[in-house]
A and B are shown apart, each in its own frame.
Chain A
Amino acid sequence: MKYASAEVRKQFFTEMFTRDISLEDCVLDLIDNSIDSYLVKHGISTAQLIFGSDGTDPGRPPGAINVTCTERQIKVADTCGGISRPRAVNDIFCFGYEEAPHRGRLGAYGVGMKRALFKIGNNFHIVSRTAQEGFEVSLKVDDWVEQEEWRIPITFIEGADSEKKAGTSITITELHEEVAQRIKQGGVPNNILNDAATTYPYFLDRCVTLNINNTDVSPEPVPLGEKDGVVKSANEKFEQNGVRVTLVATIAPGQRTTEQAGWYILCNGRVVVRGNKDDLTGWGSDLASFQPKYRSFAGLASFESDDPLRLPWTTTKRGINRESGVFIQARGLMATMSKPILSFLNSQYPSDPTTETADIRGAVEGVTRIDFKDIASRPPSGFSYKAPKKKEKKTDWVRFQASVASLDKVRRHVRRPSLTPSDIGKLTLDHFVKTECAAD
């Protein structure tokens, strides 16, 4: 038997698969690892963060993640617990996921950190300490590529001594020219900050704090709204193949931009798709194509699993694998539950507006923010709109033309020449009610 060579080449990892991800998403991959360390260390499930109380715990200081992004280096340092020596030696530098059960929540494929390191620069330095033990790795990637072996030198160092200080620091230097160029152009730290704010609303300030170039990142939750007794959101739940799915679709509160509208998709609490309004979530195929009149539409789809490999995310965690069975099932429901909301938003713009149109517009404008967990805790139901009850009219106008002669007759009769026409109207009506009508 003859064989064709099918060997792995290091260049594939250092030069090829780094092309399919943005610089910003690479940094987010490193942040994912920090968050994951914290979750694993404290045994926190993503369900607790999404559906539990606010996720904070006074007895558990939040992990701090600090990101530095300059033309010279990108550094992500955290106090999230550190990486154990066995994982460092046997797992984290391997390409592909470990066979052992996945303990992490946000790490699935075993590519994120390596891809980020290779994408960003030629030199990286990792120091990680748990309370008990630590390790250090320094590598020049171009030298490593030349070598035959698929291994990386590692040095064991002392632990951090305290749980509070335990953490990992990753520093990448000798940035690749194109990466340095992009950072020089400006905007990258801002992008990372904005991306992180919208990607980690269920983690930031609940279990970790994040700081980018000395600026704190505040979470930006997915905007969902309702109006008490008038606008009620749709929600659905199901489980498939170990993935728990919760879907909510509703009207977003406040003034919305087209960019913010659409579906948000969470995988284990991490936002992987933001404001989607294309075929991925049914727009333009099962639903109408997106138009600005739908800009108040907001949907949130949460996929959660103890085994992150079962989630429908792509390796960049910025997209969805359309061939995922659980996503295919969810997508049908997402499109279906959106339809009544689109009809409702459509009805704001009829060919001839009525008072009902004003009610509908009022309802859209009047929705206020509601938490995902509050909607998700209810039994599944469809979107509903109930027109607000009309206030019963207590008064109405009486307006008519009367002859000057008859008005003067009344003035003479009551001997009050200064009465205005309006006074006369009121006087005569009161008189009629008093003298001719039965008492209430």
Chain B
Amino acid sequence: MSETSSSYRVQYDLRPAKQVERRMIIDALQRLSTAGFPITDYQYTGFGAIYFVDFILFHKLLGMSRLLSLEQEPSLISRVEFNKPFSCVDTRMFPASSEIPNLSRDIQHIVWLDYDGVMDKSFLSDIQSAMTILSPGSVLLVTVDVEPPEDYDYKEVDPDFDSSKKVLGPKEWKDYFEYHASSFLRLGLSEEDFGKSKLVLRSAEILRAAFTKSIVARPELEFLPMFHFVYKDSHKMLSMGGMITGRAEKRQLRASTLRDTVYYRDTFDAPPFEITVPRLTRKERAYLDRQMPCADGWVPDEFVLEAEEVRRYSEIYRFLPAFAEILL
């Protein structure tokens, strides 16, 4: 059993920021659907693990029924099969690297490479595959962990590394990123550029370079950014994604109502949309919701909440889940 598989580490269904991200992506896909993209007929390929949260949402809310979940941890096979939520979910116990290249060229896809690890050369190789074969109109989304690489990550760079003698820092993190993505990093970066707070920026630069590298090989197509999220439930995560377009899809995308949303990013130059979930009680949320959408600068009278917190809440309240205990 691999301790690195996140199915063993993360309780997928209880991550509010992640859930906000999912709901925003679904909102975006609904808007694309309205703009004429036949989202219902798209194939969704993702990493459903044993929870299949995104698969359930995509099937129920978007009506998608071509669903493919990839899982590369062999010890999970029986649980993956057992937890498959619908008969239309196809599961394959293969890594993305061998399945993405074989995705059908004849249909459009939503591919969410929702990795749970820090930047890795295999992610970049999967992006290359997806960007090379996905048909115009397809959406590619990539999520990576942007916390500093852990000891077991670094062991790949330096097998002699002894965690009892040394603590990893920016120098090793720089080595790590150079090991996995040297050709995607810009020249002249120093150790400081790999400090903990800079890793989100470095990871974003790498993903962006990976998208560009592969799309320029298809001169008739472009990759138009749509999503650029940063959020944190336990680990800080970065998601970037967009649509592969020809001229027709580009026009269609530009004409959609996506640009009316707070989370849409049509360029990766703009700062990411940061999903911050305020800590509020159920009663406070019910009170705030009655005022939503609220005017700029509005704050509640009944209890103290800063205007900035209210603003952040107003951006995500439509997408924010409410958790409650159910007795099974």
Is this pair of chains taken from one and the same complex?
yes
**Knowing A286-B128, A339-B129, A380-B105 touch, does A332 contact B214 (C-beta < 8 A)?**
yes
Give 10 closest A-B pairs by Cβ, nearest first.
Answer: A382-B102, A343-B98, A332-B217, A332-B132, A340-B98, A336-B129, A336-B132, A336-B101, A329-B217, A328-B217
**Knowing A287-B125, A336-B128, A339-B129 touch, does A344 contact B217 (C-beta < 8 A)?**
no
A314-352: contact bitstring with B at CB < 8 Å (1 yes, 0 no)?
Answer: 000000000001001101110111011001100000000
B133 with A336: CB separation less than 8 A: yes
A343 with B97: CB separation less than 8 A: yes
Other A-B pairs beyond A328-B216, A336-B101, A344-B98, 5, CB < 8 Å:
A335-B129, A336-B128, A337-B101, A339-B125, A383-B102
**Distance to closest chain A CB from B97 (angstroms):** 5
B98 with A333: CB separation less than 8 A: no
**Distance to closest chain A CB from B77 (angstroms):** 13
Closest residue on chain A to residue B217 by CB atoms: A332
Complex: how many Å from CA A383 to CA B133?
A: 14
Candidates A240, A287, A381, A383; contact of B219 at CB < 8 Å:
A240
| Chain B neighbourhood of A335, CB < 8 A | 128-129, 132
A384 within 8 A of B: yes
B105 with A340: CB separation less than 8 A: no
Complex: how many Å from CA A380 to CA B217?
A: 19
SS class, residues of chain B in contact with chain A = helix
Choose among A333, A344, A384 the residue with the greatest number of B CB atoms under 10 Å from its CB.
Answer: A333
A428 within 8 A of B: no
A285 within 8 A of B: yes
B271 within 8 A of A: no
Can you list 19 A-B contacts with CB-CB less than 8 angstroms, sorted by A residue number? A234-B101, A285-B183, A286-B125, A329-B218, A332-B128, A332-B132, A332-B217, A333-B132, A333-B133, A335-B128, A336-B128, A336-B132, A339-B97, A339-B98, A340-B97, A340-B98, A381-B102, A382-B102, A383-B102
**Distance to closest chain B CB from A173 (angstroms):** 48
Q: Size range of the interface on B?
A: 20 to 34
**Distance to closest chain B CB from A18 (angstroms):** 34
**Distance to closest chain B CB from A339 (angstroms):** 5
Choose among A240, A325, A331, A382 the residue with the greatest number of B CB atoms under 10 Å from its CB.
Answer: A382
B208-236: contact bitstring with A at CB < 8 Å (1 yes, 0 no)?
Answer: 00000010111100000000000000000
| Chain A neighbourhood of B214, CB < 8 A | 332
**Distance to closest chain B CB from A172 (angstroms):** 42
A343 with B102: CB separation less than 8 A: no
**Distance to closest chain B CB from A353 (angstroms):** 14
B169 within 8 A of A: no
**Distance to closest chain A CB from B274 (angstroms):** 32
| Chain B neighbourhood of A339, CB < 8 A | 97-98, 100-101, 125, 129
A interface list, Cβ under 8 A from B: 234, 240, 285-287, 325, 328-329, 331-333, 335-337, 339-340, 343-344, 380-384
Complex: how many Å from CA A312 to CA B147?
A: 43
| Chain A neighbourhood of B102, CB < 8 A | 234, 340, 381-384
| Chain B neighbourhood of A287, CB < 8 A | 125
| Chain B neighbourhood of A240, CB < 8 A | 219
**Knowing A328-B217, A333-B132 touch, does A382 contact B183 (C-beta < 8 A)?**
no
| Chain A neighbourhood of B300, CB < 8 A | none
Question: Which B65-95 residues sit within 8 Å CB-CB of chain A?
Answer: 94-95
Complex: how many Å from CA A234 to CA B100?
A: 13
Closest residue on chain A to residue B214 by CB atoms: A332
| Chain A neighbourhood of B183, CB < 8 A | 285
Complex: how many Å from CA A285 to CA B94?
A: 21
**Distance to closest chain B CB from A177 (angstroms):** 44
Complex: how many Å from CA A104 to CA B129?
A: 36
Complex: how many Å from CA A358 to CA B100?
A: 26
Candidates A331, A336, A343, A381; contact of B95 at CB < 8 Å:
A343
Complex: how many Å from CA A296 to CA B219?
A: 32
**Distance to closest chain A CB from B10 (angstroms):** 26
Choose among B101, B133, B218 the residue with the greatest number of A CB atoms under 10 Å from its CB.
Answer: B101
| Chain A neighbourhood of B216, CB < 8 A | 328
**Distance to closest chain A CB from B158 (angstroms):** 18
| Chain A neighbourhood of B217, CB < 8 A | 328-329, 331-332
Complex: how many Å from CA A332 to CA B105?
A: 15
**Distance to closest chain B CB from A378 (angstroms):** 13
Question: Which B88-130 residues sit within 8 Å CB-CB of chain A?
Answer: 94-95, 97-102, 105, 125, 128-129
Candidates A332, A380, A382; contact of B218 at CB < 8 Å:
A332
Complex: how many Å from CA A381 to CA B95?
A: 19
| Chain A neighbourhood of B218, CB < 8 A | 329, 332
Closest residue on chain B to residue A380 by CB atoms: B105
Choose among B102, B216, B218 the residue with the greatest number of A CB atoms under 10 Å from its CB.
Answer: B102
Closest residue on chain B to residue A238 by CB atoms: B218
Complex: how many Å from CA A383 to CA B103?
A: 11
**Distance to closest chain B CB from A334 (angstroms):** 9
Complex: how many Å from CA A195 to CA B22?
A: 57
Closest residue on chain A to residue B216 by CB atoms: A328
| Chain A neighbourhood of B128, CB < 8 A | 286, 332, 335-336
| Chain A neighbourhood of B97, CB < 8 A | 339-340, 343
Complex: how many Å from CA A382 to CA B132?
A: 13
Question: Which B129-145 residues sit within 8 Å CB-CB of chain A?
Answer: 129, 131-133
Choose among A329, A336, A343 the residue with the greatest number of B CB atoms under 10 Å from its CB.
Answer: A336
Complex: how many Å from CA A239 to CA B99?
A: 25
Complex: how many Å from CA A215 to CA B57?
A: 70
B219 with A325: CB separation less than 8 A: yes
**Distance to closest chain A CB from B203 (angstroms):** 19
| Chain B neighbourhood of A286, CB < 8 A | 125, 128
